[in-house]
Amino acid sequence: MLSLTTLLEFHFKLPTIMPGTVLALTLLMVFALLSTVESHAPREKWALKHLRLSYKTNISLFIINSIAMSLVSTSSLLILAERYSAKGLLNTISSPAWKAVLSFLLLDLFMYLWHKASHSADCLWMFHRVHHNDPYLNISTSFRIHFLELLITHILKALLVIVFGIEAAMVLTNEAVMTLFIMFHHTNIAFKGEKFLGYFIIVPALHRTHHSTQRSDHDSNYGAVLSLWDRLFGTLVELEPAEIGIKGSSPQDLLNLIKFGFTLHTPPSAPAINLDAMIAEAAYYKAEKRGFSPGNDLRDWLEAKSEIIALVYGDMSVKNNPTCKPQHNYFKFINLNINHKSIRDFEGGVHC
Ligand SMILES: [Zn+2]
């Protein structure tokens, strides 16, 4: 994602490739165009006061991030690209066209993997959920990014640029293309042919699923430009989310949003585990299911005991076993009584 400082660097570093002013104006015009389209024909109609709050918070964050990122401009991708482009792995390829295609694919794949990691690790999710907690998904949401997430992305991209020797022109082109696509897939619109287009690129419908409050839905569609990576790695999900944003406390004003991005969310303290009570509850449930027919009490108790112990002490295969759905929906009750292993499980709910 481009920052204001990067846009300025376009002008000073590579004036012969594309004047920074023209590129900055192009991105601004695309933003204005998509913003106008979504306000006239929104996919989901948000109340004006909510939309205003979202724009205000997201644009403020964008400005703060741009100012903060100017502090690391000396290690910018462009300088590194100019210095290392002749030394990286891609330098073995003689065709400039293939080099350009591979550079683009590498950077897009990196964005996919990095995004996936931001959903998997709790410490990275702490930053990334700032982006996800906008319940009024719109084009300005694309600029709602935690500064540290932006900084880490920048550092990792810099390593990629050094290792593969990606040329400055490709870095800039990719940044520009990525910014356009990120703005596009956050836009609150629906259009004819969107599903077909989704076979190739990440469209608003696919990214909307990614902003669902449900973890099973939002751990999907990680792509930035191409939907190829999600198809390849089996993370593509096509469904209309019931709700957008983050479950529970979700501050929308700038100050609290910044605080939110530095708070590792912990679930409310769970009551102490009473294994005997849980086993008794589970055994009772089993007995009830078979109409309290006599002679099976001990078997019910032993089965309940092994399942509860496996559930509480970590054999999640019992919980995740598809057969648990019809037979053991008492897990839903029991899950309320155990400490969840991950903050994400708590936020996304448990799907048994
Ligand atoms: Zn995400």
pLDDT tens column, 227-284: 999 999 999 999 999 999 998 767 888 888 888 888 876 554 444 567 777 888 888 8
Distance CA 104, CA 325 (A): 44
Going from the Cα of 347 to the center of ligand 1, the distance in angstroms, rounded, reads 14
Going from the Cα of 224 to the center of ligand 1, the distance in angstroms, rounded, reads 10
Going from the Cα of 348 to the center of ligand 1, the distance in angstroms, rounded, reads 13
Which pTM does this prediction carry?
A: 0.70
Spell out the residues 6+ positions from residue 331 whose beta carbon is closer than 8 angstroms to its own: 311, 319, 324, 350, 352
Going from the Cα of 125 to the center of ligand 1, the distance in angstroms, rounded, reads 9
Bridge partners (DSSP) of residue 212 are 244
Going from the Cα of 11 to the center of ligand 1, the distance in angstroms, rounded, reads 31
Q: Which of 292, 91, 85, 225 shows the shortest CA–CA distance to 169?
A: 85
Going from the Cα of 136 to the center of ligand 1, the distance in angstroms, rounded, reads 15
Distance CA 191, CA 69 (A): 35
Going from the Cα of 9 to the center of ligand 1, the distance in angstroms, rounded, reads 27
Going from the Cα of 218 to the center of ligand 1, the distance in angstroms, rounded, reads 7
Bridge partners (DSSP) of residue 201 are 226
Task: Report pLDDT for 278.
Answer: 80
Going from the Cα of 132 to the center of ligand 1, the distance in angstroms, rounded, reads 6
Task: Report pLDDT for 352.
Answer: 29
Going from the Cα of 102 to the center of ligand 1, the distance in angstroms, rounded, reads 24
Going from the Cα of 214 to the center of ligand 1, the distance in angstroms, rounded, reads 12
Distance CA 168, CA 301 (A): 67
Going from the Cα of 201 to the center of ligand 1, the distance in angstroms, rounded, reads 16
Task: Report pLDDT for 337.
Answer: 41
Going from the Cα of 210 to the center of ligand 1, the distance in angstroms, rounded, reads 6
Going from the Cα of 212 to the center of ligand 1, the distance in angstroms, rounded, reads 10
Going from the Cα of 246 to the center of ligand 1, the distance in angstroms, rounded, reads 11
Task: Report pLDDT for 191.
Answer: 95
Going from the Cα of 30 to the center of ligand 1, the distance in angstroms, rounded, reads 23
Going from the Cα of 59 to the center of ligand 1, the distance in angstroms, rounded, reads 19
Going from the Cα of 115 to the center of ligand 1, the distance in angstroms, rounded, reads 6
Task: Report pLDDT for 287.
Answer: 80
Task: Report pLDDT for 12.
Answer: 44
Task: Report pLDDT for 307.
Answer: 80
Phi/psi at 239 (5° precision): -160, 160
Q: Is 188 left (phi over 0), alpha (psi -120 to 50) or beta?
A: beta
Spell out the residues 6+ positions from residue 25 whose beta carbon is closer than 8 angstroms to its own: none
The tens-digit pLDDT sequence of the chain (352 residues) is 655 545 444 444 444 445 567 777 888 999 999 999 999 999 999 989 999 999 999 999 999 888 887 766 545 777 777 777 778 888 888 888 999 999 999 999 999 999 999 999 999 999 999 999 999 999 999 999 999 999 999 889 988 988 998 888 888 888 889 999 999 999 999 999 999 999 999 999 999 999 999 988 889 999 999 999 999 999 999 999 999 999 876 788 888 888 888 887 655 444 456 777 788 888 888 887 777 777 777 778 888 888 877 776 655 444 444 443 333 444 444 444 444 444 444 343 333 2
Going from the Cα of 275 to the center of ligand 1, the distance in angstroms, rounded, reads 37
Going from the Cα of 280 to the center of ligand 1, the distance in angstroms, rounded, reads 41
Task: Report pLDDT for 3.
Answer: 54
